[in-house]
């Protein structure tokens, strides 16, 4: 079957890396450190995928503006204290390698910082499989389309032959804003009903089902 998509763009946290619970815990711990009300699990999960500063401002809106740099520092402290425990979702490595071997261009568009993504690439061993990546400290935060627009420009892909895969509404809205079709995965940060309201091409509750769809349709 001829390829439908030249460029496949993955979100990282909650899509390839099983990190949503760790992100929620780090946001809540940082809130306790600064003596502000902890966001609920749902509130903290909702901001996953945004750039860190935007995420914390949304999750903890009552914090004084000049305290957010300290909030960022405390979040990073708590997240990095346990990021060595995090693992890719089962089958993620094999899926990425299979898509690369099939000739697809692969990229990452993430709310992580460049330093954070480079660290994740090194730990996971997947960095060499991706042709390009964009991070929140290099572009406007999702759902702004800049990450996807720059990736398509760099790799010479058109919007209709690009697909964005993510676990949050921020990913799906970024894709829509860039004129790019999207696939949703509900095993990460945002629930299936919330994702499906944004009308992705398809939604998957397991990575294995995403992999099967890509084999048949990508």
Average pLDDT for residues 23-40, to the nearest whole number?
96
Active site residue 13: yes
For 142-162, how does the pLDDT look when each residue is reduced to its tens digit (9 = 90+)? Answer: 999 999 999 999 999 999 999
At 30 the pLDDT is 97
Cβ neighbourhood burial of 183 (10 Å; 0-12, 13-18, 19+): buried
Q: Where are the domains of the chain?
A: 7-19+87-217, 20-84
Q: How far is CA 14 from CA 3, 147, 169, in A?
A: 26, 18, 12
- Determine the Cα–Cα distance for residues 193 and 142; give it in Å rounded to an integer: 20
At 3 the pLDDT is 81
> Quick one: pLDDT band at residue 33, thresholds 50, 70, 90?
very high
Place of tokens 């946001």: 27
Catalytic residue among 6, 11, 167, 171: 11
Q: Which CATH class is domain 7-19+87-217?
A: alpha beta
Q: Lowest-pLDDT range, 28-37, 76-85, 107-116, 149-158?
A: 76-85
> Quick one: pLDDT band at residue 2, thresholds 50, 70, 90?
low
Residues 6+ apart with CB under 8 A from 54: 47, 136, 141
pTM assigned to the model: 0.95
- Per CATH, the number for 20-84 is 1.10.150
For 167-182, how does the pLDDT look when each residue is reduced to its tens digit (9 = 90+)? Answer: 999 999 999 999 999 9
At 121 the pLDDT is 96
Average pLDDT for residues 123-150, to the nearest whole number?
97
The whole-chain average pLDDT of the chain stands at 96
Q: pLDDT exceeding 90 applies to what percent of the chain?
A: 95
* CA 15 to chain CA mean position, Å: 6
């Amino acid at each position: 079957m001829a390829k439908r998509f030249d460029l496949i763009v993955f979100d990282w946290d909650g899509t390839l890396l099983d990190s949503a619970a760790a992100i929620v815990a780090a946001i809540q711990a940082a809130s306790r450190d600064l003596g502000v009300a902890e966001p609920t699990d749902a509130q903290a999960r909702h901001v996953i995928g945004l750039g860190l500063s935007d995420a914390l401002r949304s999750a903890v809106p009552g914090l004084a503006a000049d305290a957010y740099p300290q909030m960022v520092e405390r979040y990073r402290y708590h997240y990095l204290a346990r990021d060595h425990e995090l693992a890719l979702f089962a089958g993620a490595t094999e899926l990425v390698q299979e898509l690369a071997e099939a000739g697809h261009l692969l990229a990452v568009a993430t709310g992580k910082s460049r330093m954070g993504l480079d660290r994740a690439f090194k730990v996971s061993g997947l960095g060499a499989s991706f042709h390009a990546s964009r991070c929140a400290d290099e572009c406007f935060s999702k759902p702004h389309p800049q990450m996807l627009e720059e990736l398509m420009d760099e790799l010479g892909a058109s919007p209709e032959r690009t697909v964005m895969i993510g676990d949050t509404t921020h990913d799906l809205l970024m894709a829509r804003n860039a004129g790019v079709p999207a696939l949703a995965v509900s095993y990460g940060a945002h629930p299936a009903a919330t994702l499906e309201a944004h009308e992705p091409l398809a939604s998957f509750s397991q990575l294995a089902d995403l992999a099967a769809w890509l084999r048949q349709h990508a």
